[in-house]
Structure 1
Amino acid sequence: MTGSAGPMFGIARREHILEELRRSGSVMVRELATRLGVTEITIRRDITALADRGLVTRVHGGATLRSALDTTVARTPDASGPPLYRIGMVVPSLSYYWPQIVNGARVAAAAGRVQLVLRGASYDPADQRRQIAALLESGVHGLLVAPEVGGSDGLAILTWLDALDVPVVLVERRAPHSAALRRVEWVSTDHEFGAKMAVNHLYEQGHRRIGLALARDSPTAPQLRRGWEQALAELGLDREVVAATLTDVEGTEREQRFGEIVSACRDTRTTALIVHADPQAILFEHHCTDHGIDIPGDLAIVAYDDEVAENGTPPISALRPAKEHVGRLAFETMTSRLREPSRPIQRIVVLPELNVRESSAARRGA
């Protein structure tokens, strides 16, 4: 960035680098130097400073966002002594949704003398428990975890977590009231409200028969269904619409399932569909296009998660949970608990953001 204002100051350059990384995932030294009107050596120094704080990963010729698979401890040359805290984090996936949450926690940890130790699990409660137990065995001051919370398996792991002698913050999870937990805290997205936002948006576009298609076995699905049902009731909308379950099947079986949903939309006169999650929404949109169904003319779509929804044709409107913010807030909740053990228990919800795109444009004649 050149001109009469001169080159950016160091902190502004580094903020620019981080913003570009959040947008595209990687940056190149040569391109940044040209764009910002500084030498390549200056950009390399900026990247080194960011890497030393655990915010980026240096690669040949540039940098990438800090990988969720990178379990090294961020160097903090400006801090004296060993880390104040060692916090363990267990998430059920390192490839979808969760990397941004992990990055939010890592950025917050890098700003202070805190070691964040990450373990990837799966959606299997037994595997989650093994990974948490391994962290406890290694010695941690607290745990950020995203365990199963439903059914008897969920109740068992939640009860176990509530009885641990280290503080626990659930991330993107909320325990049912029936669990009667006394110590566990949490930070999660208000998915129910997100579903209401989607219904209200579609209602404003002229839709009166709004359906739902949810990924099978997703921990988010029950909350989305509750929000959808509540929104239909509050708006006085007909509930005789599509309420489908999507599976992870491939090939002809998937096409058959999409065909069943399209037929159900026609039979029930459903004109809009909320689809969770993004990959299923894009694949469903492809199916509709291939079979002559106009999006949004014949059927409007709103996706949930907003990981890849903008890549649809047309781009798909989507609810986007504030993933990095959730990760950072969960970390801050934990460090606040460690600094002040007697403070009141906090259980925080964060609202998602609706990004409106072409797939939910107003109905013709509405």
Structure 2
Amino acid sequence: MKTEAVAGRLRDLVASGAVPVGGRLPTEPELAARFGVGLNTVRRAVGRLVAEGVVVRRQGSGTYVVGVPALARRTVGVLVPSTSYYYPKVIEGIERALTAARAGVMLASSEGRPDLERSQIHRLLDAGVEGLLLVPALHVMDDPQGYADELRRLPVPYVLVERRPPAPEPDDPSSYVTTHHVGGVHTAMRYLAGLGHTRIGFLGRVRTGNSAAVADGFGLAAAALGLDVVPGSVVRHEEWTAEQIAAYAVHCRDAGVTAVFCHGDRDAAGLRHAARKAGLRVPEDLSLVAYDDDVAELVDPPLTAVAPPKAEVGALAAELLLRILADPATPAHRVELQPRLTVRGSCAPARRTERVPA
């Protein structure tokens, strides 16, 4: 490995934050062992960073970072299924982290189509990106694990964002950063149960990136908290029409359902409107919790909502990729971030006497 290549790896360590400003570089013998080069090559490479004002040598103490490289050393490709729903905040977090590291960003959208996804990945690679942040459309693929295995043959490092291999081998080396959707749902259900609600419905979705996890979370929480699963109150559609939501509201009224967990702010807003038309007051007769918290606070009354930490997921995934680029020996990371529950005006204690059909 030539001197400039080692200097580039050292710049990457600094730019990625692996060695922050004020931090001390590994010793020159340690760097020589890490990079598989001679001690003189490392000394010359460190000397270049000294000349650039990135590090300083302190006699008897070590070499310390005092600045960051002046120019971006990396360009990262980012592939998302949509730039208009859920992912803008994820992208915002990615861009914030990469900008802080003086790395460039190339953004592409798959529109949730596996065929377009493959071509977009090839386009990013052809453009020279050195790493990839990927949100693959695993939920619409016939063999999602096969595709996840296929990604391991990419010529550059990658980190999955809001996705994980669905059926990995125990030693799968994939790195990912996701939201712990099941945990977020459980937090919301525990809150509703604490308000005395035992007959809780689920207005869910299918064929979205996190719909299966959210549905699993509802089922697990209902069982763990000892809640009633009211027949006909757990319903999932790919798209909810106004007519379907209206019929669901009538069912909640007639079945004595006192709270509903909705997968999506917009569906929750639709249910709030339909509930009023069915004679149910929100929150006095029917409490609502939404999953997403994109526009929940704009509804009347503002919706209590579970907020996935989208920006934090994006930023952490970008930081992880930069670490891998700086040091390919970085071990695989499997990271889950817990969502937050924001309590607003759409929830109230359960009615003392729940209306249960005879």
State the match for 1:245 in structure 2.
236
Quote how far apart the aligned CAs of 1:103 are. Answer: 0.7
Q: 1:152 aligns with which of 142, 148, 155?
A: 142
Quote how far apart the aligned CAs of 1:245 are. Answer: 1.7
State the match for 2:80 in structure 1.
91
Verify the 8 A CA contact 1:82 1:113 in the aligned structure 2.
yes
Quote how far apart the aligned CAs of 1:167 are. Answer: 1.2
In structure 1, C-alpha distance between the alignment counterparts of 2:286 and 2:238, rounded to whole Å: 21
Quote how far apart the aligned CAs of 1:181 are. Answer: 7.1
In structure 2, C-alpha distance between the alignment counterparts of 1:221 and 1:247, rounded to whole Å: 10
CA RMSD of aligned residues (A): 2.0
Local SS of the residue matching 1:264: helix
Which gives a bigger RCO, structure 1 or 2 (Cα 8 Å, sep 6+)?
2
**Larger Rg: 1 or 2?**
2
In structure 1, C-alpha distance between the alignment counterparts of 2:335 and 2:187, rounded to whole Å: 19
Q: 1:225 aligns with which of 215, 226, 229?
A: 215
236-245 vs 297-306, which deviates more? Answer: 236-245
State the match for 2:61 in structure 1.
none
In structure 2, C-alpha distance between the alignment counterparts of 1:336 and 1:235, rounded to whole Å: 41
State the match for 1:113 in structure 2.
102
In structure 2, C-alpha distance between the alignment counterparts of 1:131 and 1:82, rounded to whole Å: 27
Percent same amino acid among aligned pairs? Answer: 34
Q: 1:289 aligns with which of 264, 276, 280?
A: 276
Matches within 5 A, 1:1-366: 82-150=71-139, 151-178=141-168, 182-241=172-231, 242-248=233-239, 254-365=241-352
Local SS of the residue matching 2:335: strand
Verify the 8 A CA contact 2:250 2:278 in the aligned structure 1.
no
In structure 1, C-alpha distance between the alignment counterparts of 2:173 and 2:127, rounded to whole Å: 22
Structure 1 residue runs without a partner (length 5+) = 1-77
TM-score (norm. length: structure 1)? 0.73
| CA offsets 1:56-100 (integer angstroms, 9 cap, x no match) | xxxxxxxxxxxxxxxxxxxxxx96564211110011111111111
Verify the 8 A CA contact 2:249 2:274 in the aligned structure 1.
no
What amino acid is the match of 2:289? Answer: V
| CA offsets 1:263-287 (integer angstroms, 9 cap, x no match) | 3323442211111111111122122
237-246 vs 227-236, which deviates more? Answer: 237-246
Local SS of the residue matching 1:358: coil
Quote how far apart the aligned CAs of 1:113 are. Answer: 2.3
Q: Tell me the number of residue pairs that the alignment of Structure 1 and Structure 2 aligns.
A: 285
What amino acid is the match of 2:279? Answer: G
Local SS of the residue matching 1:359: coil
TM-score (norm. length: structure 2)? 0.75
Distance change in 2, residues 1:264/1:292 (3 Å): closer
Verify the 8 A CA contact 2:293 2:305 in the aligned structure 1.
yes
Local SS of the residue matching 2:95: helix
